[in-house]
Chain A
């Protein structure tokens, strides 16, 4: 089966490009990024705030069933053109990771299919690689000490 999601991480460059073809009309794909309730569903996090406009901001929070905060992230929206593009920052709170810059481009392929291109720019190559090595930790709070330990085991 052809892989629908592709990740291009050129060596030595502090960015990655994620592309995905969706079996969805462009308008529906964009809606999944626009409506807070829908974002919450597929991201698996609580959307505390999502202001889709220039100079708007957003905030995500994930808690465990006991109500302990596991993960929180926020960012600022720099550009918001419906069905075209979103430019925003993303920062995980209580982690050593610096803010990253995200360029999201939405394209119509056919009436029923669409494409998303997400370019993420990191502060450094080292931070990019570290971030990518912890995918199963994303969504959990990086401040947990055990996380660093598991990261060390993965080295």
Chain B
């Protein structure tokens, strides 16, 4: 498994990017995070799980509550910015290619 690639896939998703932005300045519980989205709670949980598995987020137990926070160290690791930028365009172009292949076969 290529973990590095997974990190870039993790941040390619708009909801996960929004979660990272939300957590940039504060730690929050899963419930508080989910309340910022229309998306169903289990979907947000899944996103949190992916971000945690990629080590972009860390969990902290405070009494009965689990708080999520950004893992700054991991964020630095992925801040090889040219690769990140390339990866974003690669995702975008892969999508373009897939859409146009479908378009072609429908003709």
Question: Which residues of A are in contact with B by a Cβ distance under 8 Å?
Answer: 3-7, 9, 16, 18, 20, 22-25, 28-29, 31-32, 38, 41-44, 64-66, 116, 129, 132-133, 135-140, 144-147, 149-150, 153-154
Contact = CB atoms under 8 A, between A and B. Distances in A.
Given A32-B99, A42-B95, A153-B75, A7 B82 contact: yes
B75 A154 contact: yes
Contacts of A64: 18, 37-38
Interface of B is mostly: helix
- Among A3, A64, A65, max chain B CB count under 10 A is at A64
Interface of B: 11-12, 14, 17-18, 20-22, 24-25, 37-39, 70, 72, 75-76, 79, 81-82, 84-90, 92-97, 99-101, 103-104
- Among B25, B95, B97, max chain A CB count under 10 A is at B97
A74 B79 CA distance: 27
B42 to A, nearest CB: 16
Contacts of A42: 92, 95-96, 99
11 contacts: A4-B94, A7-B86, A9-B82, A38-B100, A41-B95, A42-B92, A65-B37, A132-B81, A136-B11, A139-B17, A146-B22
B79 A154 contact: yes
A153 B96 CA distance: 32
A124 B26 CA distance: 32
A112 B63 CA distance: 60
Nearest to A112: B104
A41 to B, nearest CB: 5
- Among B25, B37, B96, B103, max chain A CB count under 10 A is at B96
A41 B70 CA distance: 30
Given A18-B89, A32-B99, A154-B76, A66 B82 contact: no
Given A133-B79, A136-B11, A140-B18, A24 B24 contact: no
A21 to B, nearest CB: 10
B97 A24 contact: yes
Contact of A153 (B18, B24, B81, B86): B24
A136 B89 contact: no
Contacts of B75: 150, 153-154
